Amino acid sequence: MPEAPSFDVAALGAQIAAEAAAKAPFADCSEALAASPDPLAAAWDVQDAMRAVLAPQRGGVGGRKAAFNGPGQWEALGLPGPAAAPVYAAQVRTSPARIPAADFRAFWFEPEIIAILGAELSGGGWTAGTVAPHVARLHPGFEVMDRRTDGNPPPLAAIANGVFNEGMVIGGPGLPPGDVEVGALHSRVTLDGEVILDRTGAAPMHPLEAVARLANHFNARGEALAAGEALLCGAHLPPRMHVGPGVLRFDCGALGVAELTLI
């Protein structure tokens, strides 16, 4: 059995939850995590403790997010695989969405493909091929984050903080995964009309691979992914910060369009 962290996991998770709710400046917990016998395991445990506080306040878990899942990205950060975090049901929004900019200390966004589950994923051992029948549709969308800083937090602290997720915006109309050639999808993102991404094949990994990795991660922690959950499958554009009002549009070819307006 792994040694316990050298700090109170529940207390740190509750502290981070309170900071996130209050939009307090990001407080780096990397030093506490690094002092633990297994810093990565401690980061996951703190994320769970944070979720235990926030989930009841935000409608429970409505989805998940993959993070650091671009080619070579997790290796460069010293991680054994992509990161993951819950997305709360009250923060799963439908396009076109309008969100007050004042709700964020530091608004960051990522255009992503969102997979909607049609059936439960439990038991582990999933691959891109075996999850395919369990995924109802793939949609374009945005991940919404509040990093509470204009910098790039260390990866273990990011994991402990739920990778700063503050929900998503789901566009459409979307398509069943069997009807999508992911590599041929063209991603075009505009911010206030300015093109900030215009590229074919921008997905960091196949969305079904991202779904499999998310399922295996949470299944290993004793949790099934429920039918209807919305899964963020990785950023087509590196995380980007925006200050003040603005209009974001993500056109993902055959999958359709997602729109988010910060007011």
Residues 81-96: b if buried by 16+ CB within 10 A, e if exposed: ebbbbbbbbebbbebe
Token output for 214: 């998310």
Cα(20)–Cα(99) distance, integer angstroms: 17
Is residue 10 a part of any domain in this protein? no
**Residue 45: φ, ψ to 5°:** -65, -40
E strands present in the chain: 61-67, 83-88, 92-94, 97-99, 107-117, 135-146, 165-170, 172-173, 186-191, 194-200, 230-235, 240-241, 246-251, 256-262
> 192 lies in a domain?
yes
pLDDT exceeds 70 at position 125:
yes
Domain of 205? Answer: 59-262
The rounded distance, in Å, linking the Cα atoms of 147 and 247 is 20
What proportion of the chain, given as a percentage, has pLDDT over 70? 98
The two three-digit tokens of residue 154, written as one number: 């260390």
Is 51 domain-assigned?
A: no
pLDDT score of 1 more than 50 = no
Note the pLDDT tens digit of each residue in 140-157. 999 999 999 999 999 999
Q: What is the mean pLDDT of the chain?
A: 97
Q: Is 199 contained in some domain?
A: yes
The model's pTM: 0.96
d(CA 2, CA 24): 32
Q: Examine residue 70 and state whether it is found in any structural domain, yes or no.
A: yes
Per-residue pLDDT, averaged over 88-117, amounts to 98
Question: What's the CATH number where 198 sits?
Answer: 3.90.850.10
> Does residue 146 lie in a domain region?
yes
Count of structural domains within the chain: 1
Which three-class secondary structure state does DSSP give residue 236? coil
Is residue 158 in some structural domain? yes
The residue-averaged pLDDT of 109-118 equals 98
Answer yes or no: is 20 within a domain. no
CB 13 within 8 A of CB 48: yes
Helix (H, G, I), strand (E, B) or coil at 32: helix
* DSSP letters for 204-225: SS-HHHHHHHHHHHHHHTT-PB
